[in-house]
Amino acid sequence: MRWGIGYYGQIIALGMFFQAIFPQWLLDQFRSHFEKHIHKLIGYVYPYIQISFHEHNAASFQRSKAYALIERYLSTNSAHLAKRLKANMFKDSESVVLSLDDYEEVTDVFNGVTVWWTSNKKIIQQRAHNYRGDCERRFYQLTCHRKHRDFVTKVYIKHVLDEGNTITWKTRQRKLYTNNKSKDWYYYSDTLWSHIVFEHPSTFDTLAMDPKKKSEILNDLLTFSKSKDYYKKVGKSWKRGYLLYGPPGTGKSSMIAAMANLLEYDIYDLELASVMDNTDLRRLLIETSSKSIIVIEDIDCSLDLTGQRKKKPDDGNKEETDPIKKTKKDKKEGSEVTLSGLLNFIDGLWSACGSERLIVFTTNHVEKLDPALIRRGRMDKHIEMSYCCFETFKVLANNYLGVEEHELFERVGRLLETTNMTPADVAESLMPKSDEENVEICLNKLIKSLEDKKDASRLKAIEDARIKAEEEKINETEQVISHVK
Ligand SMILES: Nc1ncnc2c1ncn2[C@@H]1O[C@H](COP(=O)(O)OP(=O)(O)OP(=O)(O)O)[C@@H](O)[C@H]1O
Ligand SMILES: [Mg+2]
């Protein structure tokens, strides 16, 4: 048990009484005298020490980081013990934060040591020119027994600040950043990124893929997020590269959103075509925060990776058929980012600024990428996102129709073995378009589109074989003619 309540509260009550009967100048002199001696006296008999954490830094007038972290810690750990609370809504926070109201005191026990936190305020009288007004200075006061001084100052306070940090991260609104901004942005902002709140609903539960592969990726990510000490021990900066490749609509972007939701990271969606040069790229990197995923989508279309390290002779004439990707390819004319700039971005010296970061590339054409870009160490884990298999379908059926078993499943399974359909197309067939569309109707829709696709592929195969045979025939005829000549 500790003696009474915090003695600051008593000093303030006494001060208010004297204020009513004595002139101000006398009170000011008396107060400083009184406080000096009372502190000395209390120091002899009082077995507790007190540490104050002020809300604002005296020099900069900025809100103190320690005060904010203690506020978060107390709001989660001790606010339920207080009788009077204040509710605040902070910028970047998802929900209301409850904190101790003025002069409230709560007890906290850590490793068997009891401490007391009091939310206090001091009223400072300000006299500047003709202006007279009172100003409130808030502070948290931590009280503990003298014998625990070392433990509290060296261990407990660190614990409170670390916990406060974790709580702040967990309750913050996560952000999706982009470097592709309107031109006006540069005039109004000194940061290269703009952002919106990130609210993508994709999770590892809704992501349809082979369950073994999914749990391997999940474990890989969770292990990474807990490996701070390990990375330090082996002398590597705490980051990991993922390459997601596969045809359009197989869930690469959905996987990135699921990763961010799992680890509670922010996402930086980097459009290389909008980056002016390597210096700009480095600035963008420096401005990213820890606990984030840096994403470069369609990396094969973002830079002329084939032309800068080594020229691949047969690549020059290939026309991009996807109109969106073609536009991106055309746009890159303005960007002077080089492959070596990008390699430095991923694992050069500057990449070690910040920590706990994932770098994710996506591509539809993994074979087009320079091996240097995707070697292990840069892209540590290569994940193929493929066409829908039976296991993938089962997850989608559960997500979209809420069924785990159905007599039509077997037929779907057989068709999926011989037909390439993306999870995006399967999901589209499974989604009910009206209240009348029940499970059976939706499964039959899928079966119909799988059969149509199978027929179309068969017809295409026959047509391809016919063209090939015709070409071979023409070649043979040409050879005979040249032989005769
Ligand atoms: N594996 C999957 N699991 C769950 N839903 C998926 C999956 N793949 C695709 N989808 C669905 O299809 C839509 C498109 O998928 P997504 O954007 O993730 O594909 P992508 O591989 O990134 O395609 P692209 O290469 O064109 O960028 C998603 O909104 C999602 O609803
Ligand atoms: Mg995508």
Question: What pLDDT does residue 188 have?
Answer: 53
Instruction: State the residue for tokens 């009891």.
Output: 114
**CA 268 from chain center: how many Å?**
8
Residue-level pLDDT at 187: 52
Q: Which residue has the tokens 């974790």?
A: 166
- pLDDT at res. 184: 53
Q: What is the mean pLDDT of the chain?
A: 84
Give the Å distances, CA to CA, from 337 to 52, 194, 344.
Answer: 51, 20, 11
208 lines ligand 1 (CB under 6 A): yes
CB of 423 within 6 A of ligand 1: the answer is yes
| pLDDT top residue among 184 and 403 | 403
Give the Å distance between the CA of 211 and the centre of ligand 1.
17
Across 122-143, average pLDDT: 75
Here the ipTM equals 0.98
Ligand 1: distance of its center to the CA of 251 in Å?
3
Is the CB–ligand 1 distance for residue 100 below 6 Å?
A: no
The pLDDT value given to residue 228: 92
Comparison of pLDDT for 186 and 71, the residue scoring more: 71
Question: Is 60 exceeded by the pLDDT of residue 386?
Answer: yes
- CA 152 – CA 141 distance, rounded (Å): 13
Rounded to the nearest angstrom, the distance between the alpha carbon of 417 and the centre of ligand 1 is: 20
Residue 17 has pLDDT above 80, yes or no: no
Where does the pLDDT of residue 31 fall: very low under 50, low under 70, confident under 90, or very high at 90 and above? confident
Axis-axis angle for helices 24-45, 7-21 (nearest 10) = 150
The ligand whose atoms approach the alpha carbon of 207 most closely is: 1
State the span(s) of the chain assigned CATH 3.40.50.300: 175-384
Per-residue pLDDT at 315 exceeds 50 = no
pLDDT at 115: 94
Instruction: Give yes or no for residue 20 having a pLDDT over 90.
Output: no
Provide the pLDDT for residue 329: 47
Tokens describing residue 232? 């330090």
Q: Higher-confidence residue: 332 or 475?
A: 475
* Least trusted range by pLDDT, from 61-70, 302-311, 468-477: 302-311
**Top-ranked range on mean pLDDT: pick from 213-217, 316-320, 468-472:** 213-217
Dump pLDDT digits (tens) for 76-108.
877 777 788 888 777 666 677 787 888 889 999
Higher pLDDT, residue 344 or 187: 344
Task: Name the most confidently modeled range: 53-67, 194-208, 347-361, 365-379.
Answer: 194-208
The mean-pLDDT minimum among 20-29, 285-294, 397-406 falls in 20-29
Ligand 1 centre to CA of 201 (Å) is 13
Kindly report, residue by residue over 270-312, the tens digit of the pLDDT: 998 888 888 888 889 888 988 999 999 998 887 665 444 444 4
The percentage of the chain sitting over the pLDDT mark of 90, rounded to a whole number, equals 44
Tell me if 369 sits within 8 A of 403, measured CB to CB: no
Check residues 150 and 321 and name the one with the higher pLDDT.
150
Lowest-confidence pick of 32-41, 203-212, 320-329: 320-329
Which residue puts its alpha carbon closest to atom 11 of ligand 1? 424
d(CA 364, CA 300): 8
Please indicate whether residue 294, judged by its CB atom, sits closer than 6 Å to ligand 1: no
Q: What is the 3-state secondary structure (H, E, C) of the chain?
A: CCCCCCHHHHHHHHHHHHHHHCCHHHHHHHHHHHHHHHHHHHHHHCCEEEEEEECECCCCCCECHHHHHHHHHHHHHCHHHCCCEEEECCCCECCCEEEECCCCEEEEEECCEEEEEEEEEEEEEEEECCEEEEEEEEEEEEEEEHHHHHHHHHHHHHHHHHHHHHHHHHHECCEEEECCCCCCHHHHCCCCCEEEECCCCCCCCCCCCCHHHHHHHHHHHHHHHCCHHHHHHHCCCCEEEEEEECCCCCCHHHHHHHHHHHHCCEEEECCHHHCCCHHHHHHHHHCCCCCEEEEECCHHHHCCHHHHCCCCHHHCCCCCCCHHHHHHHHHHHHCCCCHHHHHHHHHCHHHHCCCCEEEEEEECCHHHCCHHHHCCCCCCEEEECCCCCHHHHHHHHHHHHCCCCCCCHHHHHHHHHHCCCCHHHHHHHHCCCCCCCCHHHHHHHHHHHHHHHHHHHHHHHHHHHHHHHHHHHHHHHHHHHHHHC
pTM of the model: 0.73
136: pLDDT confidence band, cut at 50, 70 and 90? confident
376 CB burial (10 A radius; 0-12, 13-18, 19+): exposed
pLDDT of 324 reads 47
**Ligand 1 centre from 228 Cα, in Å?**
31
How many other CB atoms are there within 10 angstroms of residue 102's CB atom? 13
Least confident among 52-61, 176-185, 470-479: 176-185
- For residue 123 the two structure tokens come to 């009223």
Residue with the bigger pLDDT between 340 and 392: it is 392
Which of 206, 242, 254, 425 should be mutated for ligand 1, with most atoms under 8 A from CB? 254
Candidate of 253, 388, 389, 401 to mutate for ligand 1, largest count of ligand atoms within 8 Å of Cβ:
253
* Cβ(248) – ligand 1 distance below 6 Å: yes
Q: Is residue 341 in contact with ligand 1, taking CB distance under 6 Å?
A: no
* Average pLDDT of span 441-462: 91
The pLDDT, as a whole number, for residue 132 is 57
Range from 5-9, 177-181, 187-191, 263-267 carrying the lowest mean pLDDT: 5-9
Give the pLDDT band of residue 317 (cuts 50, 70, 90): very low
CB of 307 closer than 6 angstroms to any ligand 1 atom: no
Sign of the Cα pseudo-torsion (104, 107, 110, 114, in order): positive
Supply the pLDDT for residue 63. Answer: 83
Range of 11-20, 312-321, 413-422, 475-484 with top mean pLDDT: 413-422
**Atom of ligand 1 lying closest to residue 399 CA:** 4
Is residue 386 in contact with ligand 1, taking CB distance under 6 Å? no
Instruction: Encode pLDDT of 159-185 as tens digits.
Output: 999 999 988 888 888 899 999 765 555
By alpha-carbon position, which residue is closest to atom 10 of ligand 1? Answer: 424
Residue 427 Cβ < 6 Å to ligand 1:
yes
How remote is the CA of residue 86 from the centroid of ligand 2, in Å? 44
Look at ligand 1, atom 25, and give the residue with the nearest C-alpha: 248
- Looking at the structure, give the CATH architecture of the domain made up of residues 175-384: 3-Layer(aba) Sandwich (3.40)
